[in-house]
Chains A and B, each alone.
Chain A
């Protein structure tokens, strides 16, 4: 039994919007990271869904690449969060604005 591709797209859009909402509203840097992960994975859902729909494996391979990328991004992101905490005693993204131009 196959699920129609529209549902996957709806799910993906919902997850993406959750991610955007998180980025726009949260102040905690960790929540930012989580939101970014949500957005990346919504894209993954799309890739896999279309791959399945067209019977082509390329999309799934790409999804694997995106996961590797996400892992790398988290590693860097967590490092930045750690430094933020050391320097400002908090992980509130608004504290780091003192580093702008």
Chain B
């Protein structure tokens, strides 16, 4: 009997096989490929989903698992580099989410790509397969270097898929932007990985087995030693001598460097600018990027190495503040957008801001919870938007829609379920998770940490904007009178679009029930299933990855302590704000022929519509600062460095052309020169040798 753990490597490898099939068969024998590669992709991801669920069941029975698969650099007297698999509650949960969303996106693509007669389908499905493979490998990675490698591969796949329609002008440029902006963050991540390997001599997330260390644990020991308990690990002490910093400072630098990659991938301020442009990709790809793969990777990475971040109060405060700020900042921009997918793009940035806020304020469970619920409701919203886009013949402007409620009821009700979840209306998924994040932020913020409290305030304010833009989107799209001919007679959608919508719609409505913290508090029932799931028993080898351990670290090292505030009042406040936002949208936009109320904002609208001129200032940074600097460096290189080299050569050339004239070819002259030189030499010897 083969156990689930032995088959874990097959979870990512199945989509990789689908990628190879789509690529090779699609190239050499495209006619043999059923549905342009969709069928192998669906089979492979469905296989991954089954294996993931099996793994999930095994983990719920305590079947945690860490195994080195392949050591590709064997170190002599230093560290080795390897690929390995780590299955713990967090990665098992994420495996199920990713493979479920991947299956549904593949099925949806049948309707969105195949039925619409797109060309280049093998390329599309090859991209999806590689994307799923990269993300699943990233999720199971047991060390930071492997995580980094698949993190990069995820970025590459997003580049390939966003630029799928490469013959049009927009997508290639958006793909390039996504690639470059995330690469900018990943550059810091790479330095961070090298720094962590150099400091700790290992990049493992968890130490299982004899003589194995993990970097969060070594960091914990080093910090404890700095505080006067225990001994500093030798390797770390040696490296700290080299950099000449205290462990707190140096670890914070390392944490911030890795955070650079997270900010880029999870589209946090100021590296969020790539994400709205990424809407140029096919809609199923957007669903995959936003819900389960690319963008989730950043937040997942922080959760993965939370044992390290929980030691660093400075970094946690920065994470929380950036998250809270991003949540508010992106939500305000979402308010004025006219295109369906643009609104969703800004909602994604905003929601990932919440997750960062949760992680930064010590709400590890809350952030993981929101990562899960968001994966379902955001995939649902994007697929719903894709369905609307099919119906509207690829017109995305919400002002051309309206009245689609009667025409496409399945899409409407599932989309509504996702919207209620996004806006955070009880009892849909988003309410429970977002509320828990805000609650954690509040209790730790009120526990004497003004920065966390400020982050909480921004997150709370964003709830109102979220409710408003979400329902503005719903009302403009589905309610009122149709505002164009296509909206009056929309294109129908088939089962392959409706099935994923229904599955996700049910999940978006119900998945929040797995961790109803306020209800548990109120009734005293033990129904916080996710909480129990993420706690690892003390006796296990994997206890260092459990919530109890993180909580201990937060109190011990980061100095977090919770204020005694009940969950009901904050929950009621955020629900009231969400309802307020939704209600305002109801009043303004739930009419037969709505008008553009955002025009009344005047100058503010222009600023918001132009995304606070973030793109402009980043372009200015590139063209106004970096380019002149590069030009100056180029001038220095061409003028000074090359000038010296070229000068030496031209002086030699000139001198040679003059001196060669004494070689006139007359042997007599050569002989005369020789003789004369000899005479001169003799005379010189005579003079200096004292012969005379």
Question: What is the interface of chain A, defined by CB distance below 8 A to chain B?
Answer: 20, 23-27, 32, 93-94, 96-101
Contacts and interface: CB of A to CB of B under 8 A. Distances in A.
Contacts of A100: 663-665
A96 B675 contact: no
B675 A24 contact: yes
A100 to B, nearest CB: 3
Interface string B645-669: 0000000000000001001111110
Contacts of B663: 100-101
A32 B660 contact: no
20 contacts: A20-B671, A23-B667, A23-B668, A23-B671, A24-B668, A24-B672, A24-B675, A26-B668, A27-B668, A93-B666, A93-B667, A93-B668, A97-B664, A97-B665, A97-B666, A98-B665, A100-B663, A100-B665, A101-B660, A101-B663
Nearest to B667: A93
Contacts of A24: 668, 671-672, 675
A56 B327 CA distance: 105
A26 B671 CA distance: 12
Q: Lowest 8 CB-CB distances: which A-B pairs, in order?
A: A100-B665, A97-B665, A23-B671, A93-B667, A24-B672, A97-B666, A101-B660, A24-B671
A99 B665 contact: yes
A70 to B, nearest CB: 17
A3 B665 CA distance: 44
A25 B669 CA distance: 10
A83 to B, nearest CB: 15
A101 B656 CA distance: 12
A17 B280 CA distance: 94
A88 B620 CA distance: 75
A76 B675 CA distance: 24
A96 B665 contact: yes
B658 to A, nearest CB: 12
Size category of the B interface is 10 to 19
Contact of B667 (A20, A32, A98, A101): A32
Interface of B: 660, 663-668, 671-672, 675
Given A93-B666, A97-B666, A101-B663, 17 more contacts: A20-B671, A20-B675, A23-B667, A23-B671, A24-B671, A24-B672, A24-B675, A26-B668, A27-B668, A93-B667, A93-B668, A94-B666, A96-B665, A97-B664, A100-B663, A100-B665, A101-B660
A23 to B, nearest CB: 4
A10 B360 CA distance: 104
A32 B668 CA distance: 9
Nearest to B678: A20
A100 B664 CA distance: 7
Contacts of B665: 96-100
B652 to A, nearest CB: 16
A99 B667 CA distance: 12
A38 to B, nearest CB: 13
Nearest to A101: B660
A99 B672 CA distance: 20
Contacts of A98: 665
Nearest to B660: A101
A24 B668 CA distance: 5
Nearest to B661: A101
Contacts of A32: 667
B534 to A, nearest CB: 85
A27 B671 CA distance: 13
A96 B669 CA distance: 13
Nearest to A29: B667
A33 to B, nearest CB: 11
Contacts of A25: 668
A23 B668 CA distance: 6
A100 B665 CA distance: 5
Contacts of B671: 20, 23-24
Contacts of B664: 97, 100
Contacts of A26: 668
A101 B657 CA distance: 10
A30 to B, nearest CB: 13
A49 to B, nearest CB: 21
Nearest to A93: B667
A32 to B, nearest CB: 7
Nearest to B671: A23
A20 B660 CA distance: 24
A51 B604 CA distance: 111
Contacts of B666: 93-94, 97
Contacts of A20: 671, 675
A84 to B, nearest CB: 11
A34 B391 CA distance: 108
B659 to A, nearest CB: 11
A63 to B, nearest CB: 23
Contacts of B675: 20, 24
Nearest to A35: B671
B333 to A, nearest CB: 74
B421 to A, nearest CB: 87
